[in-house]
Amino acid sequence: MDLRFTQEQEELRRAVRQFAEQVVAPVVLPMEESDQFPVSLIASMAQAGLMGIPIPKQNQGAGMDFISYVLAINEISRISAAAGVILSVHTSVGTLPIVQYGTVEQISKYVPQLATGQYLGAFALTEPQAGSDAAAIRTTAVREGDYYVLNGSKLFITNAGAASTYITFAVTNPAKGSYGISAFIIERDMPGFLVGRNERKLGLHGSSTCELFFDQLKLHISQRLGAEGDGFTIAKGSLDGGRIGIAAQALGIAERALQLTEDVWNKERIVIRNQRVALPYTQAKIAELVMQVEAAKLLVYRAAYMRQQGVRCTKEASAAKLYASDTAVKVTNAVMQLQGMDSCLSGCVMERLFRDAKATQIYEGTNEIHRIVISGQLLR
């Protein structure tokens, strides 16, 4: 593995960082205060070409590689983790599954709209009784001739309140267990489909998280993604990429928090202005945080590299997501402790980063589940 980014990747990183600092940063506080989905920001991201970075050019995407996409998530999340997760879910699990598993007709109908940001994508797997255990979903899709009739509900679906398309999973053959789950592409305005209220969350204000309801939703077989019974395979394959995206989001949070340790350093130098070194404890703590962030970065980009090469990376994606999210929580907690009471005030950047970091340990599979995934890959 080449640990260096290409010139094209570095150019993208610089461009996205500039975009984040100039376009995303001004809307962060309004998003925090209103908790409203940033429609105008998403339009700006679409205009900048960020909604379809790894999508082939023939499908109106940027035609760039998966590492470039992860770099973009990383940079956006340094400024706004909420904007980062919107982009991550839209691309990793809202668009790429159609590119990878869709028919020619499905790809031509949906992917250009998603890649250009005219549509926003969502991924509907989680249910009240099936969070980490995706095979336990209860939403059903009963075949009736050339149609399926869906009934059930989904919970905690990111982008749900603003999405146009929802990759949704339902049981088509209960007797086959996980091999009896199928995937479908649902459009927002289909009769029998209802989006519930927007959930109020600890962090990630501005991102939309809703419940979904299916009541006798009639879908033509042309809306099925992949073959009947392939749903669980599609979900698992898509989640590897999604977890790398969330790992990149967590890394961005940790990197921004680490950057803010400069404030602590400068304050302590003022307090001990007659000395040439900062307090030893602070130096040791910052060194520890730097090592954790650098280790997280290596895990994230190793997983991204494997994904880009088409190599199975379930273990590596889980490791990256687990370690980067744990690191985000540890680093934000440590920097808040170093900064003191100032960091606990509402509206403070560190207070927001601390709240945002927690979610990364829970969604795209809880970190407890990822420990099982990692050990299971080793002990199988």
What pLDDT does 272 receive? 44
For residues 146-161, average pLDDT: 97
What does the block give as tokens for 154?
């989904």
Spatial contact of 152 and 170, defined as CB atoms under 8 Å apart: yes
For residues 201-208, average pLDDT: 96
Which is more confidently placed, 266 or 164?
164
What does the block give as tokens for 183?
């995937």
What pLDDT does 278 receive? 53
For residues 186-195, average pLDDT: 98
pLDDT of 345 > 60? The answer is yes
Question: Could you tell me what percent of the chain has a pLDDT over 90?
Answer: 84
pLDDT of 286 > 80? The answer is yes
In one-letter notation, the amino acid at residue 228 is E
pLDDT of 380 > 80? The answer is no
pLDDT of 35 > 80? The answer is yes
Q: Which residues of 185-217 are buried (b: 16+ CB within 10 A; e: fewer)?
A: bbebeeeebebeebbebebbbbbbbbbbbbeeb
In sequence order, which residues have a C-beta less than 8 Å from that of residue 292 and are 6 or more positions away? 254, 327, 330, 331
How far is residue 203 from each of residues 11, 73, 182, 271, 355, measured CA to CA in Å?
31, 17, 32, 33, 5
pLDDT of 277 > 60? The answer is no
pLDDT in tens, 12-27: 999 999 999 999 999 9
Among all residues, which ones are annotated catalytic?
A: 364
Q: In whole numbers, what is the pLDDT of the chain averaged over residues?
A: 93
Which is more confidently placed, 270 or 222?
222
pLDDT of 132 > 50? The answer is yes
Phi/psi for 150 (5° steps) reads -100, 140
What's the pLDDT band for 261 if we cut at 50, 70, 90?
confident
